Amino acid sequence: MNASTLARWARANEYNATIEDLTAPVYEKLRQVIPEIEWQVHAPYVAAINAFKKERNAIILAHNYQTPEIFHGVADLTGDSLALAQMAVSTEADVIVLCGVHFMAETAKLLNPRKVVLIPDLEAGCSLAESITGADVRLLRQRYPGVPVVTYVNTSADVKAETDVCCTSANAVEVVESLGVDKVIFLPDEYLGRYVASKTSVEIILWKGHCEVHERFTAEEINAYRGQHPGIYVLAHPECPPDVLDVADFVGSTSGMINQVGRVSPERVVMVTECSMSDNVALAHPDVEFIRPCNLCPHMKRITLPKILDSLESLQHRVEVPEDVARRARLSVERMIAIKKKPQVSSPSAAVARPGRKEIPHAPDEAGISQRTCYPEHRPQGGFSRGSPHFPDSQIFSRQNLDALATERRLTARRSQNQ
């Protein structure tokens, strides 16, 4: 069936026998979470999108937080941020449609500079990514010369370009420890940073960025679930506040949580994360009862089937990254991908006090500079001057105290000019 005809039917809300036949195998997977009456609205779009994918030699990458009709209906590859980044590298398609938020599409573009990368809605942002800019990272580097910067992939390409190595929630601890240093600037998620700090002896400098979805969960809410459903198994994402992680049975990334449900096969679970994730995982585990706390990510939910269809048909909205930024940002993502992840371990009490710091051996690199520093392109010119007498010493930074630091620097510079 011609893709344009299917698109016309979809926009006219036409559900007919042809569409029913074309989408019947997809609906079999979704029957448990989408009622038939609702499916008749989605099905024409699913048929048209799948036809356009063939016509354009396109693939759809969907994050775990996408709604089930996208995740199971039109996506070719699904996963968390790390999985999507890795999949983006190996695709043979000419066009990648990223069903997720803008930083994910940028990451796909960084790794596939010659492919067309589309995002169905340019406004699909992220509170975490928007909490920090490349200029903020440059100021932090001035505060901690030579200290490597590890950045969560939930950041703009501009921030990644100022970064030594990226990480995801699935590999953050491994990435931090892979550097062989005793101090790391970890950006931008404060709670993920605290979680990493609880798992490593590396000293962590934090940024006060939060995910607006995960920061809303509270320990009281989790305890209430336990009261209502005795024996429930609680899985939490490390972007949640520390008191939530304290009361969880398992702390892990989205992929870690999915694997853990498969490993433990609990009778009843609650996934303390974005709510579409529970819907998507529930389909793979029909014997497990999922209690669904509903914190929606408004940015992820900007992606809809009609927008995906528009995107594929008109090849919009193309994601572009300036070449100079892309070159530096790509390095930080490629370094992350090159780090082999160790198997994830269950963490019943993630935020427990950590033991005394262990000394991590380090060696000089090829230039004879200690590996206790950032990568060469981020090293300060003219050697290191560790610390700065002008800055107050704090381990948690935000735009406000960085602004204060920048003002302090300007005043100091002006004072020395006037002397």
* Residue closest to 308 by CA, chosen among 5, 1, 7, 30: 7
List all residues 6 or more positions away from 329 whose beta carbon is below 8 Å from its beta carbon.
Answer: 106, 110, 157, 158, 160, 161, 163, 321
The answer to whether the bond into 188 is cis (omega within 30° of 0) is yes
Does the footprint of ligand SF4 cover residue 102 (CB under 6 A)? Answer: no
Angle between helices 305-314 and 3-11 (to 10 degrees): 140
Question: Least distance from C-beta 190 to ligand SF4, angstroms?
Answer: 13
Alpha helices in 57-101 (DSSP H): 68-71, 81-90
Q: Which is nearer to ligand SF4, 180 or 242 (CB)?
A: 242
**Stretch of 13-21, 123-131, 362-370, 385-393 contacting ligand SF4, by CB under 6 A:** 123-131
Question: Least distance from C-beta 294 to ligand SF4, angstroms?
Answer: 13
**Stretch of 52-60, 191-199, 294-302, 312-320 contacting ligand SF4, by CB under 6 A:** 294-302
Q: Is-contact 288 266, C-beta < 8 A?
A: yes
DSSP 8-state secondary structure symbol assigned to residue 384:
-
Question: Least distance from C-beta 154 to ligand SF4, angstroms?
Answer: 5
**Stretch of 34-42, 207-215, 217-225, 280-288 contacting ligand SF4, by CB under 6 A:** 207-215
**Stretch of 111-119, 126-134, 138-146, 385-393 contacting ligand SF4, by CB under 6 A:** 126-134
**Amino acid type, 258:** I
**How far apart are alpha carbons 329 and 111 in whole angstroms?**
10
Burial of 357: CB neighbours in 10 Å, binned 0-12, 13-18, 19+: exposed
Does the footprint of ligand SF4 cover residue 211 (CB under 6 A)? Answer: yes
Question: Least distance from C-beta 210 to ligand SF4, angstroms?
Answer: 8
**Stretch of 68-76, 210-218, 339-347, 399-407 contacting ligand SF4, by CB under 6 A:** 210-218
Q: Which is nearer to ligand SF4, 50 or 107 (CB)?
A: 107
Contact code string over 248-277 relative to ligand SF4, x by CB under 6 A: --------------------------x---
Q: Which is nearer to ligand SF4, 197 or 211 (CB)?
A: 211
Give CA separation, 223 vs 1, 125, 201, 278, in Å. 52, 31, 30, 19
Does the footprint of ligand SF4 cover residue 168 (CB under 6 A)? Answer: no
Question: Least distance from C-beta 123 to ligand SF4, angstroms?
Answer: 12
**Stretch of 122-130, 167-175, 217-225, 284-292 contacting ligand SF4, by CB under 6 A:** 122-130
The two counts, helices (H) then strands (E), for the chain are 17, 13
Find tokens 């490349």 and name the residue: 134
The secondary structure element, H or E, covering residue 268 is: strand 268-272
Does the footprint of ligand SF4 cover residue 172 (CB under 6 A)? Answer: no
Binding residues for ligand SF4 restricted to 353-392, rule: CB under 6 A: none
Angle between helices 134-143 and 399-418 (to 10 degrees): 60
Give CA separation, 166 vs 74, 134, 217, 241, in Å. 29, 14, 26, 22
Identified binder of ligand SF4 from the candidate list 20, 203, 212, 408, rule CB under 6 A: 212
| Number of residues engaging ligand SF4 in binding (CB under 6 A) | 12
Does the footprint of ligand SF4 cover residue 154 (CB under 6 A)? Answer: yes
Q: Which is nearer to ligand SF4, 21 or 123 (CB)?
A: 123
**Stretch of 13-21, 208-216, 244-252, 372-380 contacting ligand SF4, by CB under 6 A:** 208-216
| Residues in contact with ligand SF4 by the rule CB under 6 A | 101, 126-128, 154, 211-213, 274, 297, 299-300
